[in-house]
Structure 1
Amino acid sequence: MGSARPALVGRSAELEQLRTAARRAAAGRGRAVVIEGGIGLGKTALLGELAAECAALGMRTLHGTAEEVEQRLPFAALSACARPLQGTDEDLARVTAMLRGEHALAYSMNAAHHELAVTEALLELADRWLSRGPVALLLDDAQWADPSSIVVLHRLARGIEQVPLLLATAARALAQGDALEGLERSLLAGGALRLRLEPLPEAATVALAERQLGAPPGPLLRRLLRRSTGNPMYLETVLTAYLRDGLITVAGGHAELSGGAAADPDAVPEPLVDLTRRQAELVPRAYREVLQTAAVFGSTVDVGQLAQVLDRPVMEISEVLVDALDSGMLADHGGTLRFRQGVVRELLARSVPRAVQTALHQRAGRALSGGPGLSERTGAHLLAGGELGPDGVQWLTAHADALTGRAPDLAVKLLRRAVAETGEGAGGPLYAYLVRALLWDGEPAQAEETARAALGGGAGPDTEPDLRWLLVQACYRQGRLPEAVAETERAVASPCTSPGQAARFRGIAAMCLHLLGRAEEAEAAADRAVAEGEAAGDRAAVAIGCLARALGLIGDDMAGSLALTDRGLAELGHGIQPDLQIDPYVMRGVCLLELDRFAEAEEATAIAVRHNQRTGGMFLTTAHAVRAHLRFLQGRWDDALAEVRSGLDGPDPVGHGARLLAFADLIAVHRGDTPGGEFTGPGPAVEGDRYLVDWARCLAAEAQGDAGQAAALLFPRWERAAGPSARRRMYRVGPDLARVLAAAGDTGRLRALADDLDTLAAAHGTAGLTGCAALCRAAADGTAEPALAAVTAFQEAGWPLYEAYAHEAAALAAAAAGDAAAARERLARALDLYARLDAGWDAARARSRLREAGVRAGVRGPRGRPKHGWEALTDTERVVADLVAQGMSNPDVAAQLYLSRRTVQSHVSSILAKLALTSRVELAVAAAQRSTQG
């Protein structure tokens, strides 16, 4: 501790724990650290020492301070940590552009979706960095962290022990918000190191005073030290003030009180009575205005900003800051100047009267309004500065969209203030900006109210179409589809709407009409949108019309829907509009899945996942659900479960989480496990997913030996399915439903089911559907021929579970016909497929059914995959393990394997669990050793 700063005297144990955590993270096993304590107890100093240790260990170190004034700015705390590294990394530059909200309105639907996109980008950046070496993320004054940054910290902490990451937060024990408290609970539950700083004991305060004064304190001074309550910052403040005022002298090898202080050593030191005033007095009067202004603006000190606001030369400002550095009030963190102690900054700021603070913010807002790339900071100053004035309104008008993309809450407040100050009529341009900001901020009801007021106030021809488009979106996002359709009709009838714009409105109307079940009207509107879009040369209108028409064909004509979806994507060209309300990439994946074109479906759904991650799209869960369905049919069940985990790891605005859980439950039943063991329910299923939930419940009931209950759970869902289109979507339940109906002796419903599937197969003859129809017919008739036809169809489709079903059915038919040899052969094939799938329940069921028919399997059946060790890894996990061992990041692995970053992380966690390893570093070592031994 000989080189430690005074504030770290008495903190050797805490410092050693931090150094140990840093060394562990640098070696590959990450750690989270939570530092708590009152004002002035040394949190900032400890974090500074930890940053130095991390840098010495070669860790990429991000060290920043959260600002109270920036709590409304999304990702402000993380931006502060990354700021010293800007300009050093191309990946960071891309994420920084997203943080500034560049092009946000063009890619995302609203602020929540944009924040999801930024969150994914930050996590992907972290993955890339962690694949290259250890990283330390240190956040001071975390009690002021914005909620978006807290969310990212939550996500980074998941599985932190697997990666070389040190995540440390320092916060006051009091004044913590709910978000930070939730983060700390999560970190501590995950095994984080918790350091609670208590006041220093008397021996430590004596040592600290000796270090500062250069001599041990005498008896009177020791009595004074006891009044410091063991607070290092208070103690340093008192000693500095007493030295300055000549109240401490050093003589005879000791430091002792003198003058008035010696006359009354038990008096409470004045610096502790009025610390704010004393801190301000520590600053020379000539420098006070500069440092007080800097303190009002936050912990980070910007020389150029201060020069602009104070209208003083940069060199003059720089001289003040150099002296502040020399005095220890400021510190240089990687080229960024910051107040060394957050509390010192607060005290300096509070020494400025509130009215003066407001005037400073107003002055800063006006001075900075002409600068590039400062929209959110300029807006924050303008908001804190009260009245905008003409210059502020002009700046806001020019930067409204950029500000909305970065800080929508701030944009809404400023636009409301601008409208009030200018007295602008409801039809003015500020109202259009305000409607967009409200919609982006997730307030569709207020956006609708404001848009209607603006349109009623006489919006001009340049703004009316935009306002009407925003009004349609506001109605749609509230689920008020009839009102959305009515507004599209008004927009089309308006003389202000161009032919191309009218065609776009018709396309949106077609989507709404389809969702309302008005199929014929939807088809007519979509066709008209395409025709009018073509006539107007408006490719976006043509695309919207094609996609609306494709939406209506799903279930009836999958090939036609795919063709229209592909045309819509080609017409959009530049990218998907955020207000399109559907995801053509997901639609394309669904079409290809339903057409049994699995290789293409895999690529299409990978694109859908990446698109939704990049834009914060609302269909990310849906894309993962389609991929889980694909993996389930392919028999890649561990991969399907990885998609389930990825899909559940985030918000689910569309409500498809239940679909993911249904596939997890189906896999659990097939494997003989308990449904719902790993996952918790996200809530009720949407209408289109309820059959999946009932399917899983049906299999669970069958596994419990209650075929009648199983049939009662699922067959009513099939009966209620409205028409061939709905049954086309759920036909894969047919073989399971046929089996339980047969077991329950319900031959009437079984034959009706077989007839329904025959009709579907005749109309939509894909291999998978043809196989399902044949298998149901085999169950209804008890003959081998349709079962053998099903085997061929499922082999063509690539559905191993269903192929095993067909072999099982063929075995039963052969046994009934008295051909025991053929029955044993078919049973062996079924059991071999079940073993490859690890479908233990299916294997047991097949043996039981054939045993009842007088056929027994061989004594030694095929063995399933081991649960632990390298042989337990799936094909995908082996590939992932190899790529991770080569040092590839999760995003790079994801791009190579058509997976998402989240899914790769799920695979990595599964790999480590199966191999009994704890980190990616250990995985690399184990893979290298295995390669050498092999």
Structure 2
Amino acid sequence: MSPGVPSPVFVGRQAEIQRVSELARQAASGRGAVALVEGEPGIGKTTLLDAFAMTCGRLGMRVLRGAAEDLEQRLPFATIGTCLGLRAGPHSNADGDGARVARLLRGEDALGQSVSAANHEFAATEAILELMDRWSTAGPVALIVDDVQWADPPSVLVLHRLAQGIRQQPLLLVVAARTAAESEAVAGLVRGLTARGADVLRLEPLPETAVATLVERLLEMPAGPALSGLVARAGGNPMYVTELVDALYRESVIAVEDGVAEVSGQTEAPLPGSLVEAIARRLDFLPRQGRDILEMAAVLGPAIDAGELSAVLGSPLVTVSETLVRAIEAGLLVDTGEQLVFRHDLIREALAEHLPETVRTALRLRAGQVLAAAGAPVERVAEHLLAGTVLDPQTVGWLVQQADALIVRAPRLAVPLLRRALAALDGADPAAPALRLHLVRALLWDGDPAAAEQAARTALLTDGGAALRWLLMQACFRQGRLDEAVVVSEDALRLPELSAGEAGRFQGFAAFCLFYLERFDAGELAARLAVEEGEAEQDAQAVGLGYLGLSALRFAEGDMVKAHALADRALLAFHGGIRPDLQADPYAMRGYCLLELDRFDEADEALATAVRHNQATGGVYLALAYALRARMRLLDGRWDDALAEIEAGLDGPDPLGQAPGLRAMAALVAIRRGTYQAEREELPEPDDGVGGRKYGYLTRWAQALLEESRSDPRYALDLLYPVWERAWGLDQRRVIYRICADLARLAAVVGDHKRALDLATTTEALAAKQPTRGLTATALLCRALAEPAQEPAPSPRGVAEGQRPTGAAPDMLLSAARAFEGWPLYAALASEEAAVALAQAGREAEARDALGTALGGFAALEATWDAARAEARLRQLGVRRGRMGRRNRPKHGWEALTDTETRVARMVAEGRSNPDIAARMFLSRRTVQTHVSSILAKLDLSSRVEVAISVSKRVSDA
């Protein structure tokens, strides 16, 4: 009889097992769930995960399971890649759906040319989330992650993001962690999961009755009092109990008396005082050489390759294999069918810690050297080399050759390893310049542009060349110091060895920096030189940058037609692909131009392409693309869709500072809908950065409407009008003229005729230069509100304070309302002004009709504050609501859904994934996810499956 190593037994965890079953069934039925398993080492977390996996497998779920490893915390996506079966090595077992993700993790895509891990990691994260979305749409999925306390930060971010939208997917996310998180990232994940309502299963020590049951199962008979007393020292830790019983048995101190297991009289031998000691004593059966082999294998990691281990240790393969076989028999190792692994991390930790630190260090260095010679994946080699000490010349040579791949796959390993290599070299060593260049790039990839700048400037004291200056320019750009990026470009252009194509790329990049700095003349010259030099050497990237810069400059002048044509030329130049380190996005520029030309359908498609492009490449213009889509939705009246775009834009990287504009647009909607809460949503003052200068007008617009809502139209006008007077550059009048409808109304209400006339004159000049439907209608509205005043018609109620005298504008205002077709808010604002003018002219019936039209428009937008203001103004003139306008959309039920949400719901019912819906509707996956969440809330449903049932019932009832 020998207890050996038992198969998983679920003793004393009946409540947890019951909850496991409930959560699995819930996820399998379509409503996702999150479970967090916490507890001390050996308490049974992995065993509980076994229960999750078994239950989910019986329910037909796709089970994705893996564990984080302490030696891979610096390797991006190591944890999630293991769970998804997408290891970054050359023999990834990715299927067709996961092939692109596997390539990204190996750094094989064009993103390898990027200068920032943020680009690469964002693109990889989006690709993983899209893959999980497709798998979840195809059928229920269980993602089970063990030892998350060692997870790498990018994997932690993926888990965060999966949890955000999990309720709408048939996805069960289970993570297990030791009670005390070892990193802030993991601690943040635990807090986030808990805040989102994750089921927290904290495994406490087993009670005495459960310990007795466990011992009985291990020995196949009950334990006597003395044995139970000895086992009690395990403190209810199941693994410790198992190891103690096994130690007692192997030391022959357990005897059977009348069918009860009891200790014999030979109890003087010391028993293991801790779990670690109990594990270590499992090695007693091995000879010294065998113990050394296992201890050294433990240092090298949780998985064991017999051939590699033999090479690293210099031991015969036969000897190593015999040791591994005996370790399997003793329950120290497990053969998974693909590799040998330690049965539990505690076993590996106990064995590894038994070796002195100096021995472990030398062993890791030796392993790195052997693996490098064998052509192992660069990240595995680097993990071991980094744990070593001094690098020899051969290893430095390997690092020079493999630095590009290592930086892309694992920048957090590359940075310290490159620094160590440079410290080991003489400054005049031929390898030093290459290593210094690689270090700058690695620091950029590691998200530390300040350190990258310092390293680049230090390297420039001895090294030269365009590549180093290109990286320095990028480091300055990523810190928002665009003026210094321009200076670096100018220095690079003085290099005699610079090719025309390289010069063109420096000029093109500088042109964009100069555009954002509003140094337009210098930007014009740089952009033209980029085109000229790029064409001279047929460098498509330089030509594309130049045309894109010229497009931005024409845009800044308000010439949207030329800007659009130049954006198309840039796209044509970039037809072979856009290098990620160029920070260029012709799709967003083209969409922006089309938006300003009121070509909304084309802009919609172009901006959807911009979103996809930036998601795929980790581009810096993703938030801008969302901001532009939100602006378009505000104009065409799909405000709920605008809010979804805003939410998506705020939930991602924002290196160009689009957040002020996104938040201001959300505030504009909230103010007009009467839901704005100043104490919770206070708008910060615009700063001097690109985002503050570009979107400062939106912030002022929201602040002005807020002041008007507080009954201070004069202050509102004084706050907003200077924005129009000083408009130039990034926020020039051709872009911000949408504020003019509110400005003209405010000027008319407070009787500021001078400003009203100025608005009319300036908007007419803009419309004459390059007319569009919206701009022409705006000029007409402003002119109508600036007409010379006349005495009002007699009214039994008189003229209320703050109402303007009547002018000759009523019919002009009605024309403006018709001209704003397709712009629901502006059509309603013009109808409101027409109603006021008609009432003042004594045309009461027409005023009532115009008021009804205005209120119907406001109701369609749920703009309750605008509606209340319009009714109050007309009430003071003796006009009340006539025919009932369109009522506000209900808050719940199918009638509460917007048109977009209705379309999304129908496609969900068809079984389409969020990425598929996004592609069909020119949306992003994140935006679709937001819409699905809104649909579930409005229909009071809990899953996509219930949406499908509801759609089917609705169709059958129709």
Matched residues in 1 for 2:604 and 2:824: separation? 17
Q: Deviations over 1:507-547 (max 9, x none)?
A: 22322333333222221221122112212222211111111
| Residue 313 of structure 1: how far off its partner (Å) | 7.3
Map of 1:538 onto structure 2? 539
Mapping of 1:598-617 within 5 angstroms?
598-617=600-619
Matched residues in 2 for 1:823 and 1:273: separation? 87
Q: Given that residues 642 and 907 in structure 1 are in contact (C-alpha distance below 8 angstroms), is that contact kept between their aligned partners in structure 2? A: yes
Q: Which residue, 894, 902, 920 being the options, matches 2:926?
A: 902
| Residue 259 of structure 1: how far off its partner (Å) | 4.4
1:509 aligns with 2:510: yes
| Residue 343 of structure 1: how far off its partner (Å) | 0.8
Map of 1:580 onto structure 2? 582
Matched to 1:786, the amino acid is: M
Q: What is the percent sequence identity of the aligned residues?
A: 52
Please state whether the residue corresponding to 2:194 is helix, strand or coil.
Answer: helix
| Residue 906 of structure 1: how far off its partner (Å) | 0.5
| Residue 97 of structure 1: how far off its partner (Å) | 1.8
| Residue 738 of structure 1: how far off its partner (Å) | 0.9
Map of 1:301 onto structure 2? 304
1:330 aligns with 2:333: yes
Q: Deviations over 1:741-790 (max 9, x none)?
A: 21122222222222221222122211111111111111111413432442
TM-score by length of 2: 0.91
Q: 1:928 to 1:373 in 2, by over 3 A?
A: farther
| Residue 870 of structure 1: how far off its partner (Å) | 0.8
Map of 2:796 onto structure 1? none
Matched residues in 1 for 2:56 and 2:330: separation? 26
Q: Deviations over 1:468-501 (max 9, x none)?
A: 2222222333333343333323322222111221
Map of 1:526 onto structure 2? 527
Map of 2:786 onto structure 1? 780
Q: Which residue, 418, 421, 437 being the options, matches 1:418?
A: 421
Map of 1:823 onto structure 2? 847
Map of 2:17 onto structure 1? 15
1:81 aligns with 2:72: no
With 329-338 and 548-557 compared, the bigger mean Cα shift is at: 329-338
Matched residues in 2 for 1:54 and 1:683: separation? 52
| Residue 681 of structure 1: how far off its partner (Å) | 6.2
1:376 aligns with 2:379: yes
Matched residues in 1 for 2:677 and 2:365: separation? 60
Map of 2:721 onto structure 1? 715
Q: Which residue, 290, 295, 298 being the options, matches 1:292?
A: 295
Structure 2: gaps spanning 5 or more residues: 788-806
Q: Given that residues 30 and 945 in structure 2 are in contact (C-alpha distance below 8 angstroms), is that contact kept between their aligned partners in structure 1? A: yes
Matched residues in 2 for 1:500 and 1:545: separation? 11
Q: Which residue, 876, 880, 884 being the options, matches 1:860?
A: 884
Q: 1:570 to 1:314 in 2, by over 3 A?
A: farther
| Residue 289 of structure 1: how far off its partner (Å) | 4.3
Matched residues in 2 for 1:151 and 1:364: separation? 31
Q: 1:563 to 1:839 in 2, by over 3 A?
A: same
Q: Deviations over 1:696-752 (max 9, x none)?
A: 122222233321122122112222223797122211000011111211222222222
Map of 2:631 onto structure 1? 629
Map of 2:472 onto structure 1? 471
Q: Deviations over 1:56-86 (max 9, x none)?
A: 2211112212111111122222122223895
Q: 1:133 to 1:725 in 2, by over 3 A?
A: closer
Q: Given that residues 280 and 348 in structure 1 are in contact (C-alpha distance below 8 angstroms), is that contact kept between their aligned partners in structure 2? A: no
| Residue 228 of structure 1: how far off its partner (Å) | 2.1
| Residue 312 of structure 1: how far off its partner (Å) | 6.2
| Residue 880 of structure 1: how far off its partner (Å) | 0.3
| Residue 88 of structure 1: how far off its partner (Å) | 5.1
Q: 1:314 to 1:23 in 2, by over 3 A?
A: farther
Map of 1:225 onto structure 2? 231
Mapping of 1:784-823 within 5 angstroms?
784-795=810-821, 798-823=822-847
Map of 2:65 onto structure 1? 63
1:401 aligns with 2:404: yes
Q: Given that residues 686 and 699 in structure 2 are in contact (C-alpha distance below 8 angstroms), is that contact kept between their aligned partners in structure 1? A: no
Matched residues in 1 for 2:758 and 2:686: separation? 30
Map of 2:800 onto structure 1? none
Q: 1:564 to 1:84 in 2, by over 3 A?
A: closer
1:42 aligns with 2:68: no
Structure 1: gaps spanning 5 or more residues: none
Matched to 1:655, the amino acid is: G
Matched residues in 1 for 2:730 and 2:654: separation? 29
Q: 1:679 to 1:92 in 2, by over 3 A?
A: farther
| Residue 112 of structure 1: how far off its partner (Å) | 2.1
Q: 1:862 to 1:234 in 2, by over 3 A?
A: closer
Map of 1:235 onto structure 2? 241
1:162 aligns with 2:188: no
Q: 1:124 to 1:741 in 2, by over 3 A?
A: same
Q: 1:877 to 1:617 in 2, by over 3 A?
A: same
Matched to 1:635, the amino acid is: G
Please state whether the residue corresponding to 2:98 is helix, strand or coil.
Answer: helix
Q: 1:859 to 1:598 in 2, by over 3 A?
A: closer
Please state whether the residue corresponding to 1:170 is helix, strand or coil.
Answer: strand
Matched to 1:918, the amino acid is: S
Q: 1:338 to 1:932 in 2, by over 3 A?
A: farther
Q: Deviations over 1:324-370 (max 9, x none)?
A: 44543334557454322221111111123222222222222122224
Matched residues in 2 for 1:406 and 1:498: separation? 30
Q: Given that residues 65 and 299 in structure 1 are in contact (C-alpha distance below 8 angstroms), is that contact kept between their aligned partners in structure 2? A: no
TM-score by length of 1: 0.94
Q: Which residue, 697, 708, 723 being the options, matches 1:702?
A: 708
Matched to 2:32, the amino acid is: G
Q: 1:609 to 1:146 in 2, by over 3 A?
A: same
1:923 aligns with 2:924: no
* Alpha-carbon RMSD: 2.6
| Residue 420 of structure 1: how far off its partner (Å) | 2.2
Q: Deviations over 1:775-822 (max 9, x none)?
A: 111111141343244234322xx2121122222333333333333333
Please state whether the residue corresponding to 1:8 is helix, strand or coil.
Answer: coil
Q: Deviations over 1:662-706 (max 9, x none)?
A: 222222222232256996868856121111011112222223332
With 823-832 and 500-509 compared, the bigger mean Cα shift is at: 823-832
With 47-56 and 5-14 compared, the bigger mean Cα shift is at: 5-14
| Residue 315 of structure 1: how far off its partner (Å) | 7.7
Q: Deviations over 1:297-343 (max 9, x none)?
A: 22333455435434567787566555544543334557454322221
Q: Which residue, 839, 860, 867 being the options, matches 1:843?
A: 867
| Residue 405 of structure 1: how far off its partner (Å) | 1.0
Matched residues in 1 for 2:169 and 2:485: separation? 48
Matched residues in 1 for 2:97 and 2:548: separation? 34
Q: 1:334 to 1:612 in 2, by over 3 A?
A: farther
Q: 1:503 to 1:419 in 2, by over 3 A?
A: same
| Residue 913 of structure 1: how far off its partner (Å) | 0.7
| Residue 102 of structure 1: how far off its partner (Å) | 2.4
Please state whether the residue corresponding to 1:369 is helix, strand or coil.
Answer: helix
Please state whether the residue corresponding to 1:705 is helix, strand or coil.
Answer: coil
Q: Given that residues 107 and 576 in structure 1 are in contact (C-alpha distance below 8 angstroms), is that contact kept between their aligned partners in structure 2? A: no
Please state whether the residue corresponding to 1:493 is helix, strand or coil.
Answer: coil
Matched residues in 1 for 2:448 and 2:862: separation? 48
Q: Given that residues 503 and 541 in structure 1 are in contact (C-alpha distance below 8 angstroms), is that contact kept between their aligned partners in structure 2? A: yes
Q: Given that residues 67 and 148 in structure 2 are in contact (C-alpha distance below 8 angstroms), is that contact kept between their aligned partners in structure 1? A: yes
Q: Given that residues 7 and 42 in structure 1 are in contact (C-alpha distance below 8 angstroms), is that contact kept between their aligned partners in structure 2? A: no
Please state whether the residue corresponding to 2:31 is helix, strand or coil.
Answer: coil
Matched residues in 2 for 1:64 and 1:680: separation? 44
Map of 2:501 onto structure 1? 500
Q: Given that residues 254 and 262 in structure 2 are in contact (C-alpha distance below 8 angstroms), is that contact kept between their aligned partners in structure 1? A: yes
1:871 aligns with 2:895: yes
Q: Given that residues 111 and 119 in structure 2 are in contact (C-alpha distance below 8 angstroms), is that contact kept between their aligned partners in structure 1? A: no
Matched residues in 1 for 2:377 and 2:694: separation? 46
Matched residues in 2 for 1:175 and 1:282: separation? 35
Matched residues in 1 for 2:338 and 2:263: separation? 40
Matched to 1:787, the amino acid is: L
